[in-house]
Amino acid sequence: MVSTRGRLDAGDPTERSGAWAFDGADSVVLFVHGLGADAESARDLAYTARLGLAAAKESSEETSARPVIGYSWSSNVDWEPAKETADANGVPLADWLTAWADGDGRPIHLFAHSLGARVTGAALRELAARERTDALASVSLFGGAIPRDSAAVDGRYGPAIAALDAPVYNFHSRNDRVLGWVYRASDRTRAVGHGGLAEGATAPDNYADVDVTDLVADHYSYVEPEEGCLPRAVDRLGFE
């Protein structure tokens, strides 16, 4: 785990914990959770993503799954403060990604769920500003709780997405009632994780909407083993 909880004002806002022996893995996944997660549930969500990846590869051994690092941030607050905290995590996440790229160097595939998409968007903007668009191997948004026009070429995150030297996949489901009803009511806009990019909007060349309505039944199922959309994601990402 990498955590910024209670550390955003520290000189080094990220704190590392857990086991970091990756047994020769050629790449790793960084999982950024969404709203309402405390430190314990953030670990559980990252572990669920690991199990989901193992199931997607039809592996009976959890230890054979691609290593997953959880990015834990203080999202267990109300909606508006959580969005502000998500934005504030853009710089420390970009710091960590560039440090990893310059140090360990193994490719990072970033998975972001729900409001984690806002953390990710803020980090992509920071990476673009630093001209470190090489820091990621791919980005996958699952039920992204950001406006559906924000990923367009003229949107809040579109230029940073276009600058990235990696593909960005938006896995969206119209069965996601949290985004279809709650998010729409609170932010008075539609989410990219519900129906994809806004109709008529121009997508960056490296961006793709992936409809997973046939696989994902609700907002919390995207990376669940057996019932989420990770098999489709694995196919898109070309994981062995």
Residue 226: its pLDDT value, please?
A: 87
Please check whether residue 149 lies inside any domain of the structure: yes
Please check whether residue 235 lies inside any domain of the structure: no
CA quadruple 126, 85, 195, 235: dihedral sign: positive
Residue 240: its pLDDT value, please?
A: 65
Q: What is the CATH number of the domain that holds 43?
A: 3.40.50.1820
Taking the C-alpha atoms of residue 77 and residue 108, their distance in angstroms, rounded to an integer, is 28
Residue 63: its pLDDT value, please?
A: 45
Q: Model's pTM, two decimal places? A: 0.96
Please check whether residue 239 lies inside any domain of the structure: no
Please check whether residue 233 lies inside any domain of the structure: no
pLDDT along the chain (240 residues), means of 10: 96 93 90 98 97 79 73 98 98 98 96 98 98 97 98 98 98 97 95 96 98 97 95 89
Number of domains, the chain: 1
Residue 24: its pLDDT value, please?
A: 83
- State which residues form the domain around 160: 2-17+25-228
Residue 21: its pLDDT value, please?
A: 85
Please check whether residue 238 lies inside any domain of the structure: no
Please check whether residue 97 lies inside any domain of the structure: yes
Burial (0-12, 13-18, 19+ Cβ within 10 Å), 240: exposed
Residue 58 Cα distances to 31, 33, 52, 231, angstroms: 20, 24, 10, 9
Contact 170, 212 (CB under 8 A): no
Please check whether residue 53 lies inside any domain of the structure: yes
Please check whether residue 234 lies inside any domain of the structure: no
